[in-house]
């Protein structure tokens, strides 16, 4: 099954987030190429802030039968980042990967968000999933979320290469594959 247009654009956005390609015609031809062929290996390249998204994308690609590898520009670091809240829709995504319960175990379920004025008066209350969604919102450390995702990727054999700086994107001579070139000389 070929990747959908949305999946193709996601893969391209991952690549273009490291190299500013702007309106390069290669992006449009890459989109056409990905839309018109059977799925092949995907290399995800991006910035540290999107690690959780790239990890989840790699797990979804694997679930769809598409192999992938992640190339991270920075070295591996443990415990990086502060706290974050995953909204119910984000938890539903993790539920599709069978990871929602592991994430809940690492964090705190937040069934309601309460916004207050500087004097403590309640300005608004927002339901965070106790009634409308199948998953609640969860607040946890970013490092814990990444660890849950990384453990699942390792369990499924999805590779992560660190300290990989993307320098160029090209095609194979037959134009059937996009090739990512890195500063250390390796290509994917």
Question: With contact defined as beta carbons under 8 Å apart, do 119 and 126 qualify?
Answer: no
List the end-to-end C-alpha distance of the chain, in Å, as a whole number.
22
How many CA atoms lie less than 13 Å away from 117 in the CB half-sphere? 4
Least confident range of 5-14, 55-64, 110-119? 5-14
- Counting residues of the chain whose pLDDT is more than 90, the rounded percentage is 34
Provide mean pLDDT across the span 4-13.
40
Q: pLDDT per residue over 28-85, tens digit each?
A: 444 444 444 444 467 777 666 578 888 999 999 899 888 888 888 888 777 777 899 9
How much is the pLDDT for 16? 37
């Amino acid at each position: 099954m070929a990747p959908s247009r949305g999946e193709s654009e996601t893969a391209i956005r991952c690549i273009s987030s490291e190299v500013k390609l702007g309106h390069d015609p290669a992006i449009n031809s890459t989109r056409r190429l990905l839309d018109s062929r059977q799925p092949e290996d995907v290399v995800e390249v991006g910035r540290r802030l999107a690690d959780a998204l790239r990890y989840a994308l790699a797990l979804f690609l694997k679930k769809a039968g598409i192999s992938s590898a992640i190339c991270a520009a920075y070295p591996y670091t443990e415990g990086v980042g502060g706290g974050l809240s995953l909204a119910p829709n984000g938890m539903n995504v993790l539920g599709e990967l069978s990871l929602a319960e592991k994430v809940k175990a690492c964090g705190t379920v937040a069934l309601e968000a309460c916004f207050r004025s500087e004097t403590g008066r309640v300005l608004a209350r927002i339901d965070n999933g106790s009634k409308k969604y199948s998953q609640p919102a969860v607040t946890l450390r970013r490092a814990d979320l990444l660890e849950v995702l990384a453990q699942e990727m390792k369990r499924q054999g999805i590779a992560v290469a660190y300290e990989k700086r993307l320098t160029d994107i090209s095609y194979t001579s037959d134009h059937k594959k996009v090739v990512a070139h890195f500063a250390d000389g390796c290509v994917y």
